[in-house]
Structure 1
Amino acid sequence: MDFLDLFRAIFALAITLGIIGLAAWGARRYAPSLLARLSAERGEKRMKVVETLMLDPARRLVLVSIDGEERVLMLGEGRELIEPRGADPVSGAVK
């Protein structure tokens, strides 16, 4: 391998790394706004997480709003508990 082949290989490596760097810069610069526009075009989301509360390392409470109605979920230990529909949040009795 002579000097010209070595120079060609280093030059090709520099060009390749430059293209990768340019793609990474473009993704960091333009991807967040592009993703925001794409998600805004889909319309209003029906479900969103309002608040979470860690009870212990294995369990958490999640307050979720679905179509304007708030529901409480308890997640953890490989299962989930969902508050029954129409339950009174203070007494826990089902209406």
Structure 2
Amino acid sequence: MTYSKSSSSSLLERQRTTKKYPEARVIVLDDDVNTFEHVVKCLVKIIPGMKEERAWELAKEVDKEGAAEVWCGQLEQAELYHQQLSIEGLTMAPLERC
């Protein structure tokens, strides 16, 4: 039996794929229970970097439009903020992927 060595060897090149971490939107819904003040207090307390002025704008949007996106980002963080806002009594839409 004769063995032949090939002069060209085939190398498998590793392909690098980058997957984007899933993101989600946190949306507060309008209701007849929560006051503007409570919504603002909760947003400032729970959403990182939320300023009171922006929280008031979002509370007004919730009242006028029926809903407002208060945060969008990594899914795990979105789940946490969604849960915390729900615990505070805000009416929340289901998380949406962004």
TM over 0.5: no
Pick the TM interval, shorter chain: under 0.3
Which entry has the higher C-alpha Rg, 1 or 2? Answer: 1
Q: Which has more strand, going by share of residues?
A: 1
Structure scoring higher RCO (CA < 8 A, sep ≥ 6) equals 2
TM-score (norm 1): 0.24
